[in-house]
Chains A and B, each alone.
Chain A
Amino acid sequence: MDSLPSSLRQPSVIPGFGLALGLTLAALSLIVLIPLAALVLRAASIGPQAFLEVALESRTLAALRLSFGTALAAAVINSVFGLLIAWVLVRYRFPGRRIIDSAVDLPFALPTAVAGIAMTAIYAPNGPIGAIAQSMGFKVAYTPVGITIALIFIGLPFVVRTVQPVLEEVEQDIEEAAALLGASRARTVFQVVLPHVYPALLTGFALAFARGVGEYGSVIFIAGNIPEVSEIAPLLIVIKLEEFDYGGATVIATVMLVISFAMLFVINALQSWSRAKHGNV
């Protein structure tokens, strides 16, 4: 495997390309690609006409719009606050910092259903925050807003944890240099420090977004699940499965997969472009 055509990659003195890539591809094929091929082939087996019928049904489209829309909103909010949290955790020392640092990962560990039940308890009209919202005339739980909040919870660690290590790596010498050259603090942060972080932030955004699109467990409790209003795409998949309709279920899954893949691909391309532009060493 070490003898990959050299035109595929640029020459480098670093060894192990064949081994590393080979291992990666083997694992990727076994764990990800073959199972996904099974999914796509199952979806294709129902025929193009039936495929389009399922995919373009108004209820499917409404569910896809809701899933992608709420995931996007949640990922944007997470990017802003996740960056802020990572910054605070890396740059400042304050009481409770370690607790916060430790707790950021908990959304991963808490089973999604538990998170969903807990979130609904808080944001339902009789919950502590839901009651405040209610008195102000808002409804949080059982609306797309509730879904977005659940997805913020699910996706937050992605942003914080991808940004954090990179932020820790940023050397303060360059900040000192910028300051010495007369740049204001805000300018130093936004034009010198953050550009280093943007690629990682973009990754975090993409991951939080991708995760949010497919999330099921935490969302069903807070969503309300009314068809065409608060019914997410993964719920439609479950409904199809309950009807023993593997074909229909895999069609919706394939559509989601293709859209997510395209978005991730664009974001990854964008990121390598931005890396090239900012010329990281």
Chain B
Amino acid sequence: MAMSDRLLPLSHAPKRATSETLLTRILLIGIAGLFLGTILFLPLLTVFVEATRKGWTPILESFQDPDTRSAIRLTLLVAAIAVPVNAVIGLAASWAIAKFEFRGKNLLLTLIDLPFSISPVISGVVYVLLFGAHGWLGPWLSSHGIEIIFAVPGIVLATILVTFPFVARELIPLMQSQGTSEEEAALTLGASGWYTFFRVMLPNVKWALLYGVLLCNARAMGEFGAVSVVSGHIRGLTNTMPLQIEILYNEYNFVGAFAVAALLAALALLTLVAKSALEWMFAGELAACRRH
């Protein structure tokens, strides 16, 4: 009941004890809008304006460039590996942390957060220290003909490191606030552990999981600093979209640079539109699962 009231358009919402007055609502929405406008939308607008400064033809031309195309392919490939890996790890980590009490939990949680606090530059450098020609494993790797850095595996590793906490971080607060009673109930009724995981826990957190995956994906596609260190910048081979943007920019090809940037933003928007569509399709289910 509460849900259906909330879905009513602003102007028709009845005055209720569980909502703010119309004036407060408008004020809050206004402040949020103003803040987002200056901090978020203006920079995005700038990117699109710069991209279209010379019309649409140069944009289409820049997407014909084989190097740009291979950068787009590589970015999609890297995200396609890094995101599922992080989703699985994130689910495991949040199950362990949210459903159990154990010593050292805060330490574990902090270690999971740590990749966020490492400067992206350093996230790349650590892999150079490990796998570079003078790194710990570098000589062994090169004598076995295995390429990690300055090749795709290094880019994937650096991306996984940078986006490591996203899914876990999205799931843990929610799963903690949900507690363990539902799982315990299912288990008491004779459900298996996996059944409980997939049929009880997962449906409860699927939207948070989706947020986590989307954030992880967005960041994986947009990561620049870490990838820049381990990529080698070989045109058409190891340049991701963000690196290609930098190179185009450095070559005084403004339109090209901002066109690829706009495409990257559009790709992120696409996944977000998909999320909105899912939310809309499953609105009823969403409401039901919230009401329990």
Contact = CB atoms under 8 A, between A and B. Distances in A.
Chains A and B directly touch (beta carbon < 8 Å)? yes
A258 B136 CA distance: 23
Contacts of A265: 106-107, 110
Interface in B1-56: 2, 6-10, 17-21, 25, 28-29, 31-33, 35-36, 38-44, 46-47, 50
Given A102-B272, A214-B117, A93 B9 contact: yes
Given A10-B101, A165-B174, A175-B18, A16 B115 contact: no
Interface string B63-87: 0000000000000000000000000
Nearest to A270: B106
Contact of A28 (B112, B122, B269, B276): B112
A210 B100 contact: no
A85 interface: yes
Contacts of A34: 130
A129 interface: yes
A257 to B, nearest CB: 6
B252 interface: no
B129 interface: yes
Interface string A170-207: 01110110011000010010000000100110010011
Contact of B136 (A32, A38, A103, A106): A38
Interface string B228-257: 000000000000011001100100000001
A101 B32 CA distance: 12
Secondary structure of the B contact surface, majority rule: helix
Contact of B44 (A42, A110, A210): A110
A226 interface: no
Interface string A260-277: 110011001100100100
Given A35-B130, A103-B44, A161-B170, A14 B106 contact: no
Contact of A10 (B39, B92, B102, B165): B102
Contacts of B19: 91, 185
A10 B173 CA distance: 20
A211 B116 contact: yes
A275 B101 CA distance: 13
B92 A20 contact: yes
Contacts of A146: none
A102 B237 CA distance: 32
A216 B120 contact: yes
Interface string A27-52: 11001111110110010000000000
Contacts of A13: 184, 187-188
A117 B272 CA distance: 24
Nearest to B21: A185
B110 A261 contact: yes
A32 B215 contact: no
17 contacts: A13-B187, A17-B102, A32-B114, A33-B111, A102-B272, A112-B120, A114-B245, A165-B207, A169-B178, A200-B173, A214-B118, A214-B122, A216-B225, A234-B122, A241-B121, A250-B129, A260-B114
Interface of B: 2, 6-10, 17-21, 25, 28-29, 31-33, 35-36, 38-44, 46-47, 50, 88-89, 92-93, 95-96, 99-122, 125-127, 129-130, 135-136, 157, 160-161, 164-165, 169-170, 172-174, 176-181, 183-184, 187-188, 193, 196-197, 207-208, 211, 214-215, 218-219, 221-225, 241-242, 245-246, 249, 257-258, 261, 264-265, 267-269, 272-273, 275-276, 290-291
- Top 7 A-B pairs, shortest CB-CB distance: A109-B268, A179-B17, A9-B102, A214-B119, A260-B117, A210-B117, A111-B242
